[in-house]
Structure 1
């Protein structure tokens, strides 16, 4: 049975697609890896799509890129869908993701933050991950002042999630080194599962991939 990793995080614009591209490229070297963008918003032309970014960064190594729902308005998923007269169903999104998954690893990327509603009931990406029974969940957090608070909030929110779940600190914009060191030190000392630290555009300076085999 193929494995699925969900890439989500604490916000929008924190580099989830960048992280997904790194993982897809890394995994594609040894086995077929597929990328699924469940929902994307703010897409007015092909080059706006996250799938386009994945293909440009991973190239022919990627098995396939799939976008399930794409909306033009740069709004929260449920709002962007409603603006186009579409009603989202988390049950349907899970079904389509299951049908689209690849033969080995499938990197699934969410839209916005972990707790953004995906349908009128208020169900979010944590519900999606739990019902899809993903094998791992990567929580991307922008590595800046405030990241400690964001990690603690997400860790608490995911407290009952039973599968491997870890943080990926991504420095989207250059930060004070003291802030970066403080964030990383806290994560290690508090035993928050830190899987990677990375300056946006560079390779991770710290990377823990043991979750692949759990």
Structure 2
């Protein structure tokens, strides 16, 4: 694919992949429990979210939380505490299940019945790149009307599909210099 960065950061440019910035923004829009899993309140809220129905429990198991119902009950009642590894599994399972639950609603908000959502792309940081090697890159905005592949890849946790969709389907709409926006400092949008 033309314009793809092969050796990003070689001359001191800083930033992250645009698809990673999109995933962070989608996570922020999905919201969720703000209290950390290490606090009792955060742990109990996540356990309640993951065990409130049979469908939630099944989704949590598929997301990697493979403890018995007896253990979950002991954690919920405060009789036992999960290990650090299990706390990480609980938090990860919560994020996966939360993504799956809000994806359909978020997709409808972003597509806005075909009108799409305006996206702001902030270029990479070139402050550490020597002057003669700096590119002229500027802040860009665009309207994305089709979010289906982006949101489904994000909800499934498929980073490669999200990156492929972002770089092959979305960025070329910026014109001939779209490769300069593969790495960015931020991608912002609201729904």
Normalised by the length of structure 2, the TM-score is 0.24
* Greater helix share, structure number: 2
Higher relative contact order structure (alpha carbons within 8 Å, sequence separation ≥ 6): 2
Normalised by the length of structure 1, the TM-score is 0.23
Greater gyration radius = 2
* Greater strand share, structure number: 1
